[in-house]
Chain A
Protein backbone atom coordinates (compact mmCIF):
# COMPACT_ATOMS: atom_id res chain seq x y z
CA UNK A 1 0.00 0.00 0.00
CA UNK A 2 1.48 3.35 -0.99
CA UNK A 3 1.47 6.28 1.39
CA UNK A 4 -0.99 8.35 -0.60
CA UNK A 5 -3.50 5.47 -0.85
CA UNK A 6 -3.22 4.99 2.89
CA UNK A 7 -3.92 8.72 3.35
CA UNK A 8 -7.02 8.46 1.14
CA UNK A 9 -8.27 5.54 3.23
CA UNK A 10 -7.57 7.51 6.40
CA UNK A 11 -9.48 10.57 5.18
CA UNK A 12 -12.51 8.66 3.89
CA UNK A 13 -12.70 6.50 7.00
CA UNK A 14 -12.57 9.60 9.20
CA UNK A 15 -15.56 11.15 7.40
CA UNK A 16 -17.39 7.83 7.49
CA UNK A 17 -16.97 7.47 11.24
CA UNK A 18 -18.28 10.97 11.80
CA UNK A 19 -21.28 10.64 9.49
CA UNK A 20 -22.26 7.17 10.61
CA UNK A 21 -22.99 8.17 14.19
CA UNK A 22 -23.83 11.84 13.65
CA UNK A 23 -27.50 11.38 14.51
CA UNK A 24 -27.18 9.02 17.46
CA UNK A 25 -29.70 9.75 20.24
CA UNK A 26 -28.45 10.19 23.82
CA UNK A 27 -30.16 6.96 24.88
CA UNK A 28 -27.62 5.00 22.82
CA UNK A 29 -24.45 6.86 23.87
CA UNK A 30 -23.28 4.20 26.29
CA UNK A 31 -23.92 1.16 24.05
CA UNK A 32 -22.48 2.94 21.03
CA UNK A 33 -19.32 3.84 22.90
CA UNK A 34 -19.08 0.22 23.93
CA UNK A 35 -19.71 -0.87 20.32
CA UNK A 36 -17.01 1.38 18.92
CA UNK A 37 -14.74 0.12 21.69
CA UNK A 38 -15.39 -3.38 20.32
CA UNK A 39 -14.61 -2.29 16.75
CA UNK A 40 -11.09 -1.13 17.61
CA UNK A 41 -10.61 -4.64 18.96
CA UNK A 42 -9.52 -5.25 15.32
CA UNK A 43 -6.11 -4.47 16.81
CA UNK A 44 -6.19 -8.23 17.44
CA UNK A 45 -5.26 -8.99 13.83
CA UNK A 46 -2.27 -6.63 14.05
CA UNK A 47 -1.16 -8.16 17.33
CA UNK A 48 -1.42 -11.63 15.78
CA UNK A 49 0.74 -10.55 12.84
CA UNK A 50 3.27 -8.92 15.19
CA UNK A 51 3.52 -12.04 17.38
CA UNK A 52 3.59 -14.21 14.26
CA UNK A 53 6.71 -12.41 13.08
CA UNK A 54 8.40 -12.17 16.51
CA UNK A 55 11.74 -13.95 16.88
CA UNK A 56 13.58 -12.88 20.07
CA UNK A 57 12.20 -13.76 23.54
CA UNK A 58 11.55 -10.03 24.20
CA UNK A 59 9.52 -9.65 21.00
CA UNK A 60 7.63 -12.86 21.72
CA UNK A 61 6.81 -11.77 25.27
CA UNK A 62 5.53 -8.34 24.22
CA UNK A 63 3.71 -9.85 21.25
CA UNK A 64 2.05 -12.41 23.51
CA UNK A 65 0.87 -9.68 25.89
CA UNK A 66 -0.36 -7.72 22.86
CA UNK A 67 -2.49 -10.59 21.55
CA UNK A 68 -3.79 -11.30 25.07
CA UNK A 69 -4.87 -7.68 25.56
CA UNK A 70 -6.31 -7.38 22.05
CA UNK A 71 -8.37 -10.54 22.46
CA UNK A 72 -9.66 -9.09 25.74
CA UNK A 73 -10.65 -5.87 23.98
CA UNK A 74 -12.46 -7.68 21.15
CA UNK A 75 -14.21 -10.39 23.16
CA UNK A 76 -15.03 -8.27 26.20
CA UNK A 77 -16.24 -5.40 24.04
CA UNK A 78 -18.55 -7.75 22.18
CA UNK A 79 -19.89 -9.39 25.34
CA UNK A 80 -20.91 -6.17 27.10
CA UNK A 81 -22.24 -4.41 23.98
CA UNK A 82 -24.38 -7.40 23.05
CA UNK A 83 -25.74 -7.62 26.60
CA UNK A 84 -26.71 -3.96 26.64
CA UNK A 85 -28.31 -3.87 23.21
CA UNK A 86 -30.16 -7.13 23.80
CA UNK A 87 -32.23 -5.32 26.42
CA UNK A 88 -33.43 -2.48 24.18
CA UNK A 89 -37.00 -3.29 23.28
CA UNK A 90 -39.96 -1.20 22.16
CA UNK A 91 -43.43 -1.25 23.70
CA UNK A 92 -44.64 -3.47 20.87
CA UNK A 93 -42.36 -6.23 22.08
CA UNK A 94 -43.50 -5.99 25.70
CA UNK A 95 -45.30 -9.00 27.08
CA UNK A 96 -47.68 -8.23 29.93
CA UNK A 97 -45.75 -8.30 33.18
CA UNK A 98 -42.45 -9.07 31.47
CA UNK A 99 -39.38 -7.75 33.18
CA UNK A 100 -41.13 -6.69 36.33
CA UNK A 101 -40.39 -8.20 39.69
CA UNK A 102 -36.99 -9.61 38.80
CA UNK A 103 -34.30 -9.42 41.51
Chain B
Protein backbone atom coordinates (compact mmCIF):
# COMPACT_ATOMS: atom_id res chain seq x y z
CA UNK B 1 0.00 0.00 0.00
CA UNK B 2 3.05 2.21 0.30
CA UNK B 3 2.59 3.45 -3.26
CA UNK B 4 -0.55 5.37 -2.22
CA UNK B 5 1.21 7.43 0.42
CA UNK B 6 2.42 10.12 -1.96
CA UNK B 7 0.73 12.91 -3.93
CA UNK B 8 0.18 10.83 -7.07
CA UNK B 9 -1.28 7.95 -5.06
CA UNK B 10 -3.54 10.27 -3.10
CA UNK B 11 -4.86 11.72 -6.37
CA UNK B 12 -5.59 8.24 -7.73
CA UNK B 13 -7.50 7.27 -4.58
CA UNK B 14 -9.40 10.58 -4.60
CA UNK B 15 -10.47 10.01 -8.21
CA UNK B 16 -11.68 6.54 -7.28
CA UNK B 17 -13.77 8.02 -4.47
CA UNK B 18 -15.07 10.66 -6.89
CA UNK B 19 -16.12 8.04 -9.44
CA UNK B 20 -18.00 6.15 -6.71
CA UNK B 21 -19.74 9.32 -5.48
CA UNK B 22 -20.73 10.34 -9.03
CA UNK B 23 -22.28 6.97 -9.86
CA UNK B 24 -24.12 6.78 -6.53
CA UNK B 25 -25.23 10.37 -6.98
CA UNK B 26 -26.69 9.72 -10.44
CA UNK B 27 -28.35 6.55 -9.16
CA UNK B 28 -30.02 8.49 -6.36
CA UNK B 29 -31.03 11.26 -8.76
CA UNK B 30 -33.11 8.79 -10.78
CA UNK B 31 -35.72 8.35 -8.05
CA UNK B 32 -37.81 11.23 -6.62
CA UNK B 33 -37.41 10.00 -3.04
CA UNK B 34 -33.61 10.13 -3.04
CA UNK B 35 -33.01 12.70 -5.80
CA UNK B 36 -32.22 15.54 -3.42
CA UNK B 37 -29.36 13.63 -1.77
CA UNK B 38 -28.03 12.49 -5.15
CA UNK B 39 -26.78 15.93 -6.13
CA UNK B 40 -25.12 16.30 -2.72
CA UNK B 41 -23.21 13.01 -3.25
CA UNK B 42 -22.13 14.09 -6.71
CA UNK B 43 -21.19 17.54 -5.41
CA UNK B 44 -18.98 15.98 -2.73
CA UNK B 45 -17.28 13.92 -5.45
CA UNK B 46 -16.53 17.04 -7.48
CA UNK B 47 -15.05 18.77 -4.45
CA UNK B 48 -12.77 15.81 -3.62
CA UNK B 49 -11.48 15.58 -7.20
CA UNK B 50 -10.89 19.33 -7.54
CA UNK B 51 -8.99 19.64 -4.26
CA UNK B 52 -6.87 16.55 -5.02
CA UNK B 53 -5.92 17.96 -8.42
CA UNK B 54 -4.16 20.89 -6.76
CA UNK B 55 -1.62 18.31 -5.51
CA UNK B 56 -0.81 17.19 -9.06
CA UNK B 57 2.99 16.77 -9.34
CA UNK B 58 4.78 19.31 -11.50
CA UNK B 59 1.90 21.77 -11.90
CA UNK B 60 2.56 25.47 -12.31
CA UNK B 61 0.41 28.52 -13.03
CA UNK B 62 -1.46 28.15 -9.72
CA UNK B 63 -2.49 31.85 -9.62
CA UNK B 64 -4.01 31.57 -13.10
CA UNK B 65 -5.88 28.38 -12.15
CA UNK B 66 -7.30 29.90 -8.98
CA UNK B 67 -8.35 33.12 -10.74
CA UNK B 68 -10.06 31.17 -13.54
CA UNK B 69 -11.90 28.90 -11.10
CA UNK B 70 -12.96 31.88 -9.01
CA UNK B 71 -14.28 33.94 -11.95
CA UNK B 72 -15.96 31.05 -13.79
CA UNK B 73 -17.40 29.60 -10.60
CA UNK B 74 -18.70 32.89 -9.22
CA UNK B 75 -20.46 33.92 -12.45
CA UNK B 76 -22.05 30.48 -12.81
CA UNK B 77 -23.08 30.33 -9.15
CA UNK B 78 -24.87 33.68 -9.19
CA UNK B 79 -26.53 33.07 -12.55
CA UNK B 80 -27.54 29.56 -11.45
CA UNK B 81 -29.09 30.75 -8.20
CA UNK B 82 -31.03 33.56 -9.86
CA UNK B 83 -32.38 32.01 -13.06
CA UNK B 84 -36.15 31.52 -13.17
CA UNK B 85 -37.39 27.93 -13.19
CA UNK B 86 -39.09 28.58 -16.55
CA UNK B 87 -35.66 29.38 -18.05
CA UNK B 88 -34.01 26.22 -16.74
CA UNK B 89 -33.66 24.38 -20.10
CA UNK B 90 -31.55 27.11 -21.71
CA UNK B 91 -29.44 27.47 -18.57
CA UNK B 92 -28.60 23.76 -18.69
CA UNK B 93 -27.68 24.24 -22.36
CA UNK B 94 -25.35 27.09 -21.45
CA UNK B 95 -23.50 25.20 -18.69
CA UNK B 96 -23.29 22.17 -20.93
CA UNK B 97 -21.77 24.24 -23.72
CA UNK B 98 -19.15 25.50 -21.27
CA UNK B 99 -18.19 21.90 -20.47
CA UNK B 100 -17.85 21.09 -24.16
CA UNK B 101 -15.75 24.20 -24.66
CA UNK B 102 -13.50 23.19 -21.77
CA UNK B 103 -12.96 19.72 -23.27
CA UNK B 104 -12.08 21.35 -26.61
CA UNK B 105 -9.71 23.74 -24.80
CA UNK B 106 -7.88 20.81 -23.18
CA UNK B 107 -7.44 19.25 -26.60
CA UNK B 108 -6.22 22.56 -28.00
CA UNK B 109 -3.57 22.98 -25.28
CA UNK B 110 -2.33 19.42 -25.77
CA UNK B 111 -2.32 19.65 -29.57
CA UNK B 112 -0.63 23.07 -29.82
CA UNK B 113 2.03 21.87 -27.40
CA UNK B 114 2.73 18.99 -29.76
CA UNK B 115 5.57 16.71 -28.72
CA UNK B 116 5.33 13.02 -28.02
CA UNK B 117 1.74 11.90 -28.33
CA UNK B 118 0.91 8.37 -29.43
CA UNK B 119 -1.34 7.92 -32.45
CA UNK B 120 -4.12 6.64 -30.18
CA UNK B 121 -3.85 9.65 -27.89
CA UNK B 122 -3.72 12.05 -30.81
CA UNK B 123 -6.77 10.40 -32.41
CA UNK B 124 -8.79 10.61 -29.20
CA UNK B 125 -7.63 14.20 -28.69
CA UNK B 126 -8.85 15.33 -32.11
CA UNK B 127 -12.13 13.40 -31.94
CA UNK B 128 -12.78 14.82 -28.47
CA UNK B 129 -11.88 18.26 -29.80
CA UNK B 130 -14.46 18.02 -32.61
CA UNK B 131 -17.22 16.71 -30.33
CA UNK B 132 -16.46 19.23 -27.60
CA UNK B 133 -16.36 22.18 -30.01
CA UNK B 134 -19.62 21.11 -31.72
CA UNK B 135 -21.26 20.77 -28.32
CA UNK B 136 -19.94 24.22 -27.34
CA UNK B 137 -21.18 26.23 -30.31
CA UNK B 138 -24.33 24.11 -30.71
CA UNK B 139 -25.31 24.59 -27.08
CA UNK B 140 -24.82 28.34 -27.39
CA UNK B 141 -27.27 28.38 -30.32
CA UNK B 142 -29.71 26.24 -28.30
CA UNK B 143 -29.41 28.75 -25.47
CA UNK B 144 -29.96 31.66 -27.85
CA UNK B 145 -33.05 30.06 -29.35
CA UNK B 146 -34.75 29.19 -26.05
CA UNK B 147 -33.81 32.55 -24.56
CA UNK B 148 -35.49 34.22 -27.54
CA UNK B 149 -32.25 35.81 -28.78
CA UNK B 150 -32.41 33.85 -32.05
CA UNK B 151 -35.95 33.81 -33.38
CA UNK B 152 -35.59 32.40 -36.86
CA UNK B 153 -34.64 28.90 -37.88
CA UNK B 154 -32.10 29.28 -40.67
CA UNK B 155 -32.96 26.84 -43.44
CA UNK B 156 -31.96 26.65 -47.07
CA UNK B 157 -31.61 24.07 -49.82
CA UNK B 158 -28.55 21.86 -49.68
CA UNK B 159 -28.07 22.57 -46.00
CA UNK B 160 -27.39 18.94 -45.15
CA UNK B 161 -24.79 18.78 -47.92
CA UNK B 162 -23.07 21.89 -46.60
CA UNK B 163 -23.03 20.39 -43.09
CA UNK B 164 -21.51 17.20 -44.48
CA UNK B 165 -18.82 19.24 -46.27
CA UNK B 166 -17.96 21.07 -43.03
CA UNK B 167 -17.82 17.74 -41.19
CA UNK B 168 -15.58 16.35 -43.94
CA UNK B 169 -13.27 19.35 -43.53
CA UNK B 170 -13.00 18.71 -39.81
CA UNK B 171 -12.33 15.01 -40.37
CA UNK B 172 -9.59 15.73 -42.93
CA UNK B 173 -7.85 18.09 -40.47
CA UNK B 174 -8.30 15.52 -37.70
CA UNK B 175 -6.76 12.81 -39.87
CA UNK B 176 -3.78 14.98 -40.80
CA UNK B 177 -3.11 15.79 -37.15
CA UNK B 178 -3.65 12.31 -35.71
CA UNK B 179 -1.48 10.61 -38.31
CA UNK B 180 1.27 13.13 -37.63
CA UNK B 181 1.33 13.99 -41.35
CA UNK B 182 0.63 17.66 -40.75
CA UNK B 183 0.12 18.83 -37.18
CA UNK B 184 1.03 22.46 -37.76
CA UNK B 185 -0.71 25.18 -35.79
CA UNK B 186 -2.63 26.18 -38.92
CA UNK B 187 -4.13 22.71 -39.31
CA UNK B 188 -5.07 22.57 -35.62
CA UNK B 189 -6.73 25.99 -35.87
CA UNK B 190 -8.61 24.89 -39.00
CA UNK B 191 -9.86 21.80 -37.13
CA UNK B 192 -11.39 23.94 -34.41
CA UNK B 193 -12.89 26.43 -36.88
CA UNK B 194 -14.57 23.60 -38.84
CA UNK B 195 -15.91 22.00 -35.66
CA UNK B 196 -17.25 25.25 -34.20
CA UNK B 197 -18.96 26.19 -37.48
CA UNK B 198 -20.44 22.67 -37.69
CA UNK B 199 -22.07 23.11 -34.27
CA UNK B 200 -23.63 26.38 -35.44
CA UNK B 201 -24.85 25.12 -38.80
CA UNK B 202 -26.23 21.88 -37.32
CA UNK B 203 -28.25 23.64 -34.64
CA UNK B 204 -29.52 26.75 -36.44
CA UNK B 205 -32.14 24.92 -38.56
CA UNK B 206 -33.68 23.08 -35.58
CA UNK B 207 -36.89 24.57 -34.17
CA UNK B 208 -37.41 25.62 -30.57
CA UNK B 209 -39.80 22.77 -29.73
CA UNK B 210 -37.14 20.17 -30.54
CA UNK B 211 -34.39 21.98 -28.64
CA UNK B 212 -34.68 19.89 -25.43
CA UNK B 213 -33.75 16.73 -27.34
CA UNK B 214 -30.84 18.58 -28.92
CA UNK B 215 -29.63 19.90 -25.55
CA UNK B 216 -29.80 16.39 -24.13
CA UNK B 217 -27.81 15.10 -27.10
CA UNK B 218 -25.12 17.76 -26.65
CA UNK B 219 -25.03 16.85 -22.97
CA UNK B 220 -24.18 13.26 -23.89
CA UNK B 221 -21.64 14.48 -26.47
CA UNK B 222 -19.90 16.68 -23.93
CA UNK B 223 -19.63 13.65 -21.65
CA UNK B 224 -18.00 11.71 -24.47
CA UNK B 225 -15.58 14.55 -25.26
CA UNK B 226 -14.61 14.71 -21.58
CA UNK B 227 -13.98 10.95 -21.56
CA UNK B 228 -11.77 11.17 -24.67
CA UNK B 229 -9.70 14.03 -23.25
CA UNK B 230 -9.48 11.94 -20.06
CA UNK B 231 -7.77 9.22 -22.11
CA UNK B 232 -5.32 11.79 -23.46
CA UNK B 233 -4.46 13.04 -19.97
CA UNK B 234 -4.53 9.55 -18.41
CA UNK B 235 -7.18 10.82 -15.99
CA UNK B 236 -9.46 8.00 -14.74
CA UNK B 237 -12.00 10.33 -13.10
CA UNK B 238 -12.61 12.08 -16.42
CA UNK B 239 -12.87 8.78 -18.33
CA UNK B 240 -15.39 7.29 -15.91
CA UNK B 241 -17.53 10.40 -15.32
CA UNK B 242 -17.46 11.37 -18.99
CA UNK B 243 -18.40 7.91 -20.22
CA UNK B 244 -21.16 7.48 -17.62
CA UNK B 245 -22.67 10.80 -18.73
CA UNK B 246 -22.14 9.87 -22.38
CA UNK B 247 -24.16 6.67 -22.09
CA UNK B 248 -26.71 7.95 -19.55
CA UNK B 249 -27.16 11.06 -21.69
CA UNK B 250 -27.70 8.98 -24.83
CA UNK B 251 -30.39 6.94 -23.07
CA UNK B 252 -31.97 10.10 -21.68
CA UNK B 253 -32.00 11.64 -25.16
CA UNK B 254 -33.83 8.59 -26.52
CA UNK B 255 -36.31 8.64 -23.63
CA UNK B 256 -36.99 12.33 -24.20
CA UNK B 257 -37.39 11.94 -27.93
CA UNK B 258 -39.81 9.06 -27.35
CA UNK B 259 -41.74 11.04 -24.73
CA UNK B 260 -42.11 13.82 -27.29
CA UNK B 261 -43.06 11.36 -30.02
CA UNK B 262 -40.06 12.31 -32.16
CA UNK B 263 -37.15 10.30 -33.41
CA UNK B 264 -33.64 11.62 -33.02
CA UNK B 265 -33.02 11.40 -36.75
CA UNK B 266 -36.13 13.43 -37.35
CA UNK B 267 -35.02 16.11 -34.93
CA UNK B 268 -31.53 16.44 -36.37
CA UNK B 269 -32.17 16.15 -40.08
CA UNK B 270 -35.69 17.18 -41.01
CA UNK B 271 -36.01 20.63 -39.51
CA UNK B 272 -39.46 20.05 -38.00
CA UNK B 273 -40.30 21.16 -34.53
CA UNK B 274 -40.92 24.73 -35.46
CA UNK B 275 -44.04 25.73 -33.60
CA UNK B 276 -46.60 27.37 -35.78
CA UNK B 277 -46.03 24.92 -38.59
CA UNK B 278 -48.95 23.25 -40.34
CA UNK B 279 -52.45 24.54 -39.83
CA UNK B 280 -54.14 21.72 -41.66
CA UNK B 281 -57.09 19.67 -40.54
CA UNK B 282 -59.23 22.56 -39.40
CA UNK B 283 -62.44 21.66 -41.18
CA UNK B 284 -63.45 18.57 -39.22
CA UNK B 285 -64.59 20.25 -36.02
CA UNK B 286 -68.30 20.71 -35.44
CA UNK B 287 -70.38 22.23 -32.65
CA UNK B 288 -69.67 25.37 -30.68
CA UNK B 289 -67.63 26.52 -27.71
CA UNK B 290 -69.84 26.90 -24.64
CA UNK B 291 -68.79 29.45 -22.01
CA UNK B 292 -69.25 29.00 -18.25
CA UNK B 293 -68.97 31.28 -15.21
CA UNK B 294 -66.26 30.82 -12.55
CA UNK B 295 -68.86 30.50 -9.78
CA UNK B 296 -70.45 27.50 -11.50
CA UNK B 297 -67.08 25.83 -11.95
CA UNK B 298 -66.30 26.46 -8.28
CA UNK B 299 -69.45 24.62 -7.18
CA UNK B 300 -68.79 21.81 -9.65
CA UNK B 301 -65.26 21.28 -8.34
CA UNK B 302 -66.10 21.70 -4.67
CA UNK B 303 -68.63 18.85 -4.83
CA UNK B 304 -66.58 16.62 -7.13
CA UNK B 305 -65.09 13.30 -6.03
CA UNK B 306 -62.12 13.54 -8.30
CA UNK B 307 -60.52 16.46 -10.17
CA UNK B 308 -57.64 16.07 -12.62
CA UNK B 309 -55.69 19.23 -13.46
CA UNK B 310 -53.98 19.32 -16.85
CA UNK B 311 -51.41 22.13 -16.85
CA UNK B 312 -49.57 23.36 -19.92
CA UNK B 313 -46.76 25.79 -20.55
CA UNK B 314 -49.33 28.59 -20.79
CA UNK B 315 -49.96 28.19 -17.06
CA UNK B 316 -46.28 28.71 -16.33
CA UNK B 317 -46.11 31.74 -18.63
CA UNK B 318 -49.03 33.27 -16.73
CA UNK B 319 -47.23 32.33 -13.46
CA UNK B 320 -50.52 30.74 -12.37
CA UNK B 321 -49.03 27.56 -10.84
CA UNK B 322 -49.02 29.00 -7.31
CA UNK B 323 -52.70 29.94 -7.59
CA UNK B 324 -53.54 26.55 -9.09
CA UNK B 325 -51.93 24.81 -6.14
CA UNK B 326 -53.78 27.10 -3.72
CA UNK B 327 -57.04 26.10 -5.42
CA UNK B 328 -56.11 22.41 -5.25
CA UNK B 329 -55.28 22.64 -1.56
CA UNK B 330 -58.75 24.08 -0.91
CA UNK B 331 -60.25 21.14 -2.80
CA UNK B 332 -58.05 18.58 -0.99
CA UNK B 333 -59.12 20.05 2.34
CA UNK B 334 -62.73 19.50 1.25
CA UNK B 335 -61.94 15.83 0.59
CA UNK B 336 -61.69 16.02 -3.19
CA UNK B 337 -59.22 13.63 -4.81
CA UNK B 338 -56.92 15.92 -6.85
CA UNK B 339 -54.35 14.77 -9.39
CA UNK B 340 -52.08 16.60 -11.83
CA UNK B 341 -51.75 15.02 -15.25
CA UNK B 342 -48.51 15.90 -17.00
CA UNK B 343 -47.92 15.36 -20.67
CA UNK B 344 -44.23 14.87 -21.52
CA UNK B 345 -44.21 18.05 -23.59
CA UNK B 346 -46.26 20.10 -21.14
CA UNK B 347 -43.17 22.11 -20.23
CA UNK B 348 -40.31 22.99 -22.47
CA UNK B 349 -38.68 19.61 -21.98
CA UNK B 350 -39.84 16.34 -20.44
CA UNK B 351 -39.93 16.80 -16.69
CA UNK B 352 -39.84 20.60 -16.87
CA UNK B 353 -43.49 21.00 -15.84
CA UNK B 354 -42.81 18.85 -12.78
CA UNK B 355 -40.09 21.26 -11.76
CA UNK B 356 -42.44 24.23 -12.22
CA UNK B 357 -45.16 22.54 -10.13
CA UNK B 358 -42.61 21.52 -7.49
CA UNK B 359 -41.57 25.17 -7.30
CA UNK B 360 -45.16 26.07 -6.43
CA UNK B 361 -45.12 23.42 -3.68
CA UNK B 362 -47.08 20.61 -5.38
CA UNK B 363 -45.96 17.27 -3.88
CA UNK B 364 -44.60 14.90 -6.55
CA UNK B 365 -46.91 12.03 -5.56
CA UNK B 366 -49.94 14.05 -6.75
CA UNK B 367 -48.34 14.34 -10.17
CA UNK B 368 -48.95 11.56 -12.67
CA UNK B 369 -47.56 11.14 -16.14
CA UNK B 370 -49.43 10.16 -19.26
CA UNK B 371 -49.36 6.37 -18.90
CA UNK B 372 -50.38 6.40 -15.25
CA UNK B 373 -53.22 8.87 -15.51
CA UNK B 374 -54.90 8.20 -18.83
CA UNK B 375 -57.16 5.44 -17.52
CA UNK B 376 -58.22 7.68 -14.62
CA UNK B 377 -59.97 10.35 -16.69
CA UNK B 378 -63.06 8.15 -17.10
CA UNK B 379 -63.63 8.25 -13.34
CA UNK B 380 -62.88 11.97 -12.99
CA UNK B 381 -65.74 14.40 -12.40
CA UNK B 382 -63.78 17.40 -13.64
CA UNK B 383 -60.74 17.76 -15.89
CA UNK B 384 -59.39 21.29 -15.51
CA UNK B 385 -57.31 22.29 -18.55
CA UNK B 386 -55.11 25.30 -17.98
CA UNK B 387 -52.62 26.49 -20.56
CA UNK B 388 -52.59 23.15 -22.39
CA UNK B 389 -53.95 22.70 -25.91
CA UNK B 390 -52.48 20.24 -28.43
CA UNK B 391 -51.71 17.64 -25.73
CA UNK B 392 -55.44 17.19 -25.00
CA UNK B 393 -56.67 17.42 -28.60
CA UNK B 394 -58.59 14.22 -29.40
CA UNK B 395 -57.97 14.63 -33.15
CA UNK B 396 -54.52 13.19 -32.44
CA UNK B 397 -56.34 9.91 -31.77
CA UNK B 398 -58.79 9.78 -34.62
CA UNK B 399 -58.10 12.29 -37.43
CA UNK B 400 -55.50 10.86 -39.79
CA UNK B 401 -55.22 14.11 -41.73
CA UNK B 402 -54.16 16.11 -38.68
CA UNK B 403 -50.47 17.03 -38.34
CA UNK B 404 -50.56 15.83 -34.73
CA UNK B 405 -52.17 12.48 -35.58
CA UNK B 406 -50.50 9.69 -33.65
CA UNK B 407 -49.10 11.90 -30.90
CA UNK B 408 -49.91 10.40 -27.47
CA UNK B 409 -52.42 12.69 -25.73
CA UNK B 410 -54.04 12.99 -22.34
CA UNK B 411 -57.61 11.64 -22.59
CA UNK B 412 -59.15 14.64 -20.88
CA UNK B 413 -62.22 14.35 -23.14
CA UNK B 414 -63.20 11.16 -21.25
CA UNK B 415 -63.85 13.10 -18.02
CA UNK B 416 -67.48 13.80 -17.07
CA UNK B 417 -66.91 17.54 -17.24
CA UNK B 418 -64.06 19.33 -18.99
CA UNK B 419 -63.28 22.92 -18.02
CA UNK B 420 -60.86 24.80 -20.25
CA UNK B 421 -59.31 28.02 -18.99
CA UNK B 422 -58.40 30.02 -22.06
CA UNK B 423 -57.64 33.62 -22.90
CA UNK B 424 -59.91 33.86 -25.92
CA UNK B 425 -61.48 31.92 -28.74
CA UNK B 426 -58.52 31.93 -31.12
CA UNK B 427 -56.75 28.78 -32.27
CA UNK B 428 -53.86 27.53 -30.15
CA UNK B 429 -50.11 27.71 -30.32
CA UNK B 430 -49.79 25.28 -33.22
CA UNK B 431 -52.69 26.71 -35.18
CA UNK B 432 -54.53 23.39 -35.01
CA UNK B 433 -58.20 23.61 -34.06
CA UNK B 434 -58.86 21.72 -30.81
CA UNK B 435 -61.87 19.37 -31.05
CA UNK B 436 -61.94 19.07 -27.26
CA UNK B 437 -63.21 22.65 -26.94
CA UNK B 438 -66.35 21.79 -28.95
CA UNK B 439 -67.42 18.66 -27.09
CA UNK B 440 -70.77 18.49 -25.27
CA UNK B 441 -69.09 17.93 -21.90
CA UNK B 442 -66.67 20.85 -22.33
CA UNK B 443 -67.15 24.37 -20.97
CA UNK B 444 -64.86 27.32 -21.61
CA UNK B 445 -63.80 29.64 -18.78
CA UNK B 446 -62.41 32.67 -20.57
CA UNK B 447 -59.76 34.84 -18.99
CA UNK B 448 -56.11 35.23 -18.05
CA UNK B 449 -54.83 32.08 -16.31
CA UNK B 450 -53.96 33.72 -13.04
CA UNK B 451 -57.14 35.82 -12.82
CA UNK B 452 -59.41 32.91 -13.75
CA UNK B 453 -57.90 30.65 -11.09
CA UNK B 454 -58.23 33.44 -8.51
CA UNK B 455 -61.95 33.60 -9.34
CA UNK B 456 -62.18 29.84 -8.90
CA UNK B 457 -60.51 30.09 -5.49
CA UNK B 458 -63.05 32.70 -4.42
CA UNK B 459 -65.87 30.56 -5.82
CA UNK B 460 -64.77 27.43 -3.94
CA UNK B 461 -64.34 29.44 -0.73
CA UNK B 462 -67.87 30.80 -1.15
CA UNK B 463 -69.43 27.32 -1.37
Closest to B49 in A: A45
B-side contacts of A31, CB under 8 Å: 29, 35, 351, 355
**Minimum CB–CB distance for A1 against chain B, Å:** 5
CA distance A17 to B360 in the complex (A): 32
* Contact call A20/B102, Cβ cutoff below 8 A: no
* Contact call A67/B79, Cβ cutoff below 8 A: no
* Contact call B26/A20, Cβ cutoff below 8 A: yes
Beyond A28-B35, A39-B245, A42-B49, whether A66 also contacts B219 by CB under 8 A is no
* Contact call A89/B238, Cβ cutoff below 8 A: no
* Contact call B43/A82, Cβ cutoff below 8 A: yes
Our pick among A62, A71, A84 for the contact of B85 (Cβ within 8 Å) is: A84
* Contact call A18/B251, Cβ cutoff below 8 A: yes
Binds A, one of B150-158, B175-183, B227-235, B422-430: B227-235
Our pick among A24, A42, A91 for the contact of B363 (Cβ within 8 Å) is: A91
* Contact call A75/B72, Cβ cutoff below 8 A: yes
Q: Is B138 an interface residue (CB 8 A)?
A: no
Q: Mark each residue of chain B from 220 to 253: 1 if its CB lies under 8 Å from any CB of chain A, else 0.
A: 0011001101110111111111111111111110
Closest to A65 in B: B105
Where chain A touches its partner, the secondary structure class is helix
CA distance A60 to B11 in the complex (A): 23
* Contact call B42/A100, Cβ cutoff below 8 A: no
Residues facing A in B95-115 (CB within 8 A) are 95-96, 98-99, 101-103, 105-106, 108-110, 112-113
CA distance A16 to B214 in the complex (A): 23
Q: Is B184 an interface residue (CB 8 A)?
A: no
Binds A, one of B276-284, B294-302, B319-327, B413-421: B319-327
A-side contacts of B256, CB under 8 Å: 29, 33
Q: Which of B79, B102, B244, B364 has the most CB of A within 10 A?
A: B102
Residues facing A in B75-121 (CB within 8 A) are 75-77, 79-81, 83, 85, 88-89, 91-92, 94-96, 98-99, 101-103, 105-106, 108-110, 112-113, 120
B interface residues, Cβ below 8 angstroms from A: 18, 22-23, 25-27, 29-33, 35-36, 38-40, 42-43, 46, 49-50, 52-54, 56, 58-62, 64-65, 67-77, 79-81, 83, 85, 88-89, 91-92, 94-96, 98-99, 101-103, 105-106, 108-110, 112-113, 120, 215-216, 219, 222-223, 226-227, 229-231, 233-252, 255-256, 259, 319, 322, 325-326, 329, 342, 344, 347, 349-352, 354-355, 358-367, 369-370
Q: List 17 A-B contacts (CB under 8 A).
A: A24-B30, A24-B252, A28-B32, A30-B88, A33-B216, A37-B245, A40-B219, A43-B229, A48-B69, A63-B109, A73-B95, A75-B72, A79-B79, A80-B83, A85-B36, A88-B36, A102-B360
- Other 6 A-B pairs with CB < 8 A, given A52-B58, A91-B365: A28-B354, A45-B238, A48-B50, A70-B99, A73-B102, A74-B46
